[in-house]
Amino acid sequence: MNKNLLQIRNLSIGYGNKIVAGNLSAIIPSGELICLLGSNGTGKSTLMRSICGFHPVLNGSVFIDDLEVNQLSEKELSKWIAVVLTDRVIVPNANVQELVGYGRSPYTGMMGRLNAMDKIIVSRAMEQCGIAHKKDSLLSSLSDGERQKAFIAKAIAQDTPLIILDEPTAFLDLPARVEIMQLLRDIANASGKSILMSTHDLDLALQLSDRLWLLQSGGPLTTGSPEDLLLQNAFQSMFQHKGIVFDNKTGLFKVMHTQNSTIPVKGHGFEYVLLRRALSRKGIKVIRANSEDNNWLEVKNESKEPFALFVEGECIQSEASLEVFVNQVLKMQELFKVKRSCCTLSE
């Protein structure tokens, strides 16, 4: 069992006398990647800033290695927790190596000069984050993904047991989001550091995190492994909005489509799933064809033109393109038995 590096106990967070979320309790074991999830406005950023000591807590306590965070000085805390915030930090005329070097500031003298060991730590941090080849590049010249790697390298160079990141993938495209999440996963595995990050990328969090924190409006904080939370149906109430459902089996959201007609279909497999999805988006529910149907659609998985339209038992058209096929089907809907009772189904 990993040692619990950080604990929050009966925490209430907010501003002034206003409590944003209360009765929050959780742990961060050593060497784990933990993702904090929650809708906008639930207090994710406030919680993370409170854990870092940047924001006063209204009630309860935060302990790191049995030391109460609000009793630590800024310099003491900087040796326990490294922070990467969402805010786009501007460091004028600084290159990557200089930025990462700032991570050593808790250990350098007043002049901030790096000794030989500091320089080795900075170099290793850049290598670990895959940004060493950009060490002489100005931060202003980097892509968003490269810039985020530089700030993560700075946090690694700070050499703390805990790294906290507030939505580190917020401004990134999908490939860069995946790369940053995998990088953080590798850091936790290789270094034994604990990483707490907030994110909206639920699918990546389910695949890569050791533990999830689910923050609901007003609290509480539901925690556990992704698999245990799926078994407990913990996501349904958290993400329950009109027209959206969460599928435990796939770990994905499903959109509810209003469907006011049906079409019988024969077939199975991947092509069948894609056809069902395309028709559902057009308001048509796929039902299984039976012997009483004179007109139907059919999916032939091993054919070059797998999508076929049958009228009076004869194939009158087959297509390789699902877009072309669905458009043709829409023009010929009157051939099919249509049910006009409106229903909503997730797809």
CATH code for position 72: 3.40.50.300
Establish if 245 belongs to a structural domain. no
Determine the distance from the C-alpha atom of residue 42 to the mean position of all C-alpha atoms in its chain, rounded to a whole number: 16
Instruction: With beta carbons less than 8 A apart as the criterion, state whether 265 and 296 touch.
Output: yes
Could you say which of 240, 266, 281 is where a domain stops? 240
**Closest to 219 (Cα-Cα) out of 10, 22, 6, 14:** 22
pLDDT tens figures, 6-56: 999 999 999 888 899 999 999 999 999 999 998 888 889 999 999 998 889
Q: How many domains is the chain built from?
A: 2
Strands 67-68 and 252-259: unpaired
232 & 272 share domain: no
pLDDT band at 340 (very low <50, low <70, confident <90, very high): very low
Establish if 218 belongs to a structural domain. yes
229 & 261 share domain: no
pLDDT tens figures, 182-224: 999 999 998 889 999 999 998 899 999 999 999 988 878 999 9
Establish if 113 belongs to a structural domain. yes
| 241, pLDDT greater than 90 | no
Could you say which of 240, 274, 291 is where a domain stops? 240
118 & 232 share domain: yes
pLDDT band at 240 (very low <50, low <70, confident <90, very high): low
233 & 262 share domain: no
234 & 261 share domain: no
32 & 176 share domain: yes
228 & 102 share domain: yes
Establish if 322 belongs to a structural domain. yes
Establish if 295 belongs to a structural domain. yes
The 3-state secondary structure of 250-317, one letter per residue? CCEEEEEEEECEEEEEECCHHHHHHHHHHHHHCCEEEEECCCCCCCEEEECCCCCCCEEEEECCEEEE
178 & 290 share domain: no
In terms of pLDDT, which residue wins out, 152 or 340?
152
Establish if 342 belongs to a structural domain. yes
32 & 57 share domain: yes
| 111, pLDDT greater than 80 | no
Helix (H, G, I), strand (E, B) or coil at 63: strand
231 & 325 share domain: no
235 & 269 share domain: no
- The pLDDT assigned to 26 comes to 95
| 62, pLDDT greater than 90 | yes
Q: To the nearest whole number, what is the mean pLDDT of the chain? A: 88
pLDDT band at 250 (very low <50, low <70, confident <90, very high): confident
Establish if 135 belongs to a structural domain. yes
For the entire predicted model, the pTM comes to 0.81
Give the torsion sign (CA, 271, 277, 282, 283): positive
Residue 53 to residue 81: CA distance in whole angstroms: 10
Instruction: Using alpha carbons, list the distances in angstroms from residue 171 to 87, 176, 177.
Output: 11, 9, 9
Could you say which of 240, 271, 301 is where a domain stops? 240
Residue 263 to residue 50: CA distance in whole angstroms: 55
Domain encompassing residue 149: 4-240
Establish if 247 belongs to a structural domain. no
233 & 273 share domain: no
- The pLDDT assigned to 332 comes to 86
In terms of pLDDT, which residue wins out, 259 or 50?
50
pLDDT tens figures, 166-178: 999 988 999 999 9
Determine the distance from the C-alpha atom of residue 143 to the mean position of all C-alpha atoms in its chain, rounded to a whole number: 20
In terms of pLDDT, which residue wins out, 93 or 307?
307
| 331, pLDDT greater than 80 | yes
The residues near 42 (Cβ < 8 Å, ≥ 6 apart) are 20, 21, 215, 216, 217, 218
DSSP 233: T
